[in-house]
Amino acid sequence: MEKPNKAWSFSVFLLVSLSLLVFNFAVYGQEKPSGYVGSDACKECHQEYFLSYSKSIHGKKAIPGSPGATQGCESCHGGGAVHIEKGGKGGILAFGKKGDGRIKSAPCLTCHENSKEMLTWSMGRHMSMGVSCDSCHMVHSTTKNNLKALEPGLCIGCHKNIRNQISRQSRHPIQEGKMRCTSCHTPHGGLTNKMLKTDSITELCYKCHTEKRGPYAFEHPPVSENCINCHSPHGSNHTGLLTRRSPQLCQGCHNLGFGHTSNAYTLQHGFGGKATANKNRFFAQGCLNCHGNIHGSNRSPIFER
Ligand code: HEC
Ligand code: HEC
Ligand code: HEC
Ligand code: HEC
Ligand code: HEC
Ligand code: HEC
Ligand code: HEC
Ligand code: HEC
Ligand code: HEC
Ligand code: HEC
């Protein structure tokens, strides 16, 4: 993981503490911090945003701790006094503009950082790469979870290479809507590499493919080690989400240079380089015709069907 830049960490810390102070004032002090003018002052010039905010979950006065119950617009945009003084020219936090992601996420985190979902935000790659809350959330809206778009559109807008992978001929049914990116990933960061929902890739796959967990009397070591030794998680041009087709897949590891594992598997080349009675089984899937229970077996040490 990247080390967070100290200067930024400090400014985020400052922003967070400042906003927390503001928050405490709002709840306990019952008075506006200096530089704060209240949402009614914004309404005059920003009718549309006032309306969309009022309808949104954040505008609900009845929810304790919500912007509606505290500083309104200024809970997120910061104090507006200077902004109004200048007749709307700057002086306020604007989200839509390009800018440092950490600064844009800071007001959101003052209220959300202690939720279970957000505990690993600061360890995730989205945070460290400057992706901010408003990259995915559109808070002036009433969409579910205030999301900008539905998955997978939300994610593949930025992740173009994954968009290609999930349209390959063999794929997890993500585009079909049967599962989502967030079935496997945590958008808010995570403790693991690649922001996965589980501690390891294999655990992730077992969640839905429990029958592959075993234990088997005869284990195939690469299976319990890591499913992506052979599979591509998003999609592949080979059947069964395989990284390579057999026999190349198998020969990537079983390449002793002699015997039936590494010889070309044609009519002329069976076991030990000679054709056998079983020669026809070397066609099509090749290795899998005989070693069909490739994930492990309780009766065959060579995983025969
Ligand atoms: C007197 C009118 C007026 C008031 C009152 C006002 N604004 Fe603005 N605001 C503007 C104008 C004008 C702009 C510039 C709009 C543009 O460029 O399209 C603006 C821009 C903004 C922007 C975008 C800033 C940027 O740099 O792009 C935000 C956010 C904003 N206002 C929030 C608020 C909030 C929150 C309040 C209440 C605290 C508020 N405004 C009160 C007139 C006002
Ligand atoms: C929960 C945080 C939050 C609250 C509360 C909030 N806003 Fe926003 N506002 C945002 C975010 C985030 C954006 C970026 C666009 C989006 O997500 O919809 C935004 C966009 C805007 C913009 C367009 C300029 C920009 O920053 O992109 C204006 C103007 C604005 N808000 C004004 C207001 C006003 C006026 C209120 C109160 C009536 C208000 N906002 C309340 C978070 C908030
Ligand atoms: C002043 C505190 C506060 C701030 C600032 C704040 N939120 Fe919230 N937010 C809340 C509360 C309270 C809820 C309602 C939580 C609930 O009922 O579980 C909420 C709900 C949400 C939800 C869930 C919406 C839904 O449909 O259930 C999202 C997403 C969200 N906030 C994102 C943001 C983002 C992004 C920002 C910054 C632009 C932000 N919040 C700023 C307090 C805040
Ligand atoms: C990469 C996209 C992305 C980013 C960046 C992001 N979110 Fe989310 N967020 C989501 C998605 C997707 C969901 C819906 C999760 C689900 O359906 O299980 C969600 C759900 C939420 C919820 C409501 C659900 C819950 O479990 O509480 C809140 C609150 C929230 N996000 C806040 C934030 C805040 C605050 C930030 C910035 C610190 C942020 N999000 C950044 C994608 C994102
Ligand atoms: C079936 C579970 C699963 C689903 C669904 C899934 N992913 Fe992944 N994703 C993984 C695994 C496992 C890895 C780690 C692969 C590795 O380490 O090589 C990964 C890696 C990634 C990476 C890092 C890629 C890299 O080369 O470092 C990105 C970005 C990503 N996924 C985005 C997405 C997006 C966007 C979606 C939805 C369109 C999605 N994933 C759906 C399991 C999944
Ligand atoms: C605004 C653009 C943006 C959006 C939207 C976005 N991401 Fe990302 N994501 C990034 C960037 C930038 C990185 C870091 C560079 C990279 O690894 O590609 C990243 C990295 C990742 C990684 C790799 C993490 C690692 O440790 O290497 C995963 C997984 C991921 N995103 C999943 C998602 C999912 C799931 C969604 C949708 C809920 C999503 N992203 C939406 C920009 C985005
Ligand atoms: C959230 C549930 C879920 C998770 C997690 C998951 N899968 Fe799947 N997987 C599915 C579904 C649903 C299908 C499609 C089944 C169908 O169409 O009958 C599938 C299909 C497959 C297929 C068969 C594809 C084909 O074309 O025949 C393979 C191989 C596979 N998954 C491997 C994995 C691997 C490896 C992982 C871990 C990186 C994983 N899965 C994680 C739900 C999941
Ligand atoms: C040594 C390579 C290898 C490893 C490692 C591996 N698989 Fe497979 N897997 C295959 C092959 C080969 C197929 C057959 C593909 C076909 O039908 O064309 C397959 C098919 C599948 C299928 C679809 C057909 C079925 O049997 O249900 C699923 C689901 C699957 N694997 C899940 C997993 C999971 C989960 C893991 C990790 C625990 C894993 N695989 C590890 C080689 C492997
Ligand atoms: C990532 C490496 C890897 C891949 C890919 C792989 N294997 Fe294996 N396989 C092993 C290891 C390690 C063993 C344990 C025995 C050993 O050390 O040779 C093993 C054992 C076996 C055995 C049991 C025989 C014995 O010596 O114990 C058979 C049969 C087998 N593999 C067939 C296949 C087939 C068929 C494929 C392709 C679908 C395949 N393997 C893909 C690594 C791999
Ligand atoms: C016609 C059925 C058949 C086909 C096709 C087949 N095997 Fe085998 N394989 C066997 C039998 C039977 C054994 C056990 C007898 C032996 O060791 O010769 C075996 C043993 C093995 C072993 C363990 C012993 C050794 O030789 O290392 C490995 C590894 C193996 N096969 C891999 C493969 C690979 C890789 C392919 C595809 C290129 C393949 N097999 C194709 C039937 C087959």
CA distances to 57, 162, 304 from 239, rounded to whole Å, are 45, 18, 20
Longest dimension (CA), the chain: 91
**95 CB near ligand 2 (under 6 Å):** yes
Question: Tell me: the pLDDT tens digits for 104-124?
Answer: 999 999 999 999 989 999 999
Max mean pLDDT among 2-6, 121-125, 281-285 falls in: 121-125
Using 50, 70 and 90 to split pLDDT, how confident is the model at 128? very high
pTM of the model: 0.92
Ligand 5, atom 3, lies closest to the CA of 184
**145 CB near ligand 4 (under 6 Å):** yes
Place of tokens 């993500």: 174
Q: Among all ligands shown, which has an atom nearest to the Cα of 66?
A: 3
Query: Which atom of ligand 1 has the smallest separation from the CA of 97?
Result: 27
Is residue 152 within 8 Å of 175, Cβ to Cβ? yes
Q: Among all ligands shown, which has an atom nearest to the Cα of 78?
A: 1
Question: Tell me: the pLDDT tens digits for 29-38?
Answer: 346 788 999 9
Q: Among 26-30, 81-85, 140-144, which is the least confidently predicted range?
A: 26-30
Ramachandran angles phi, psi of 186, nearest 5° = -105, 115
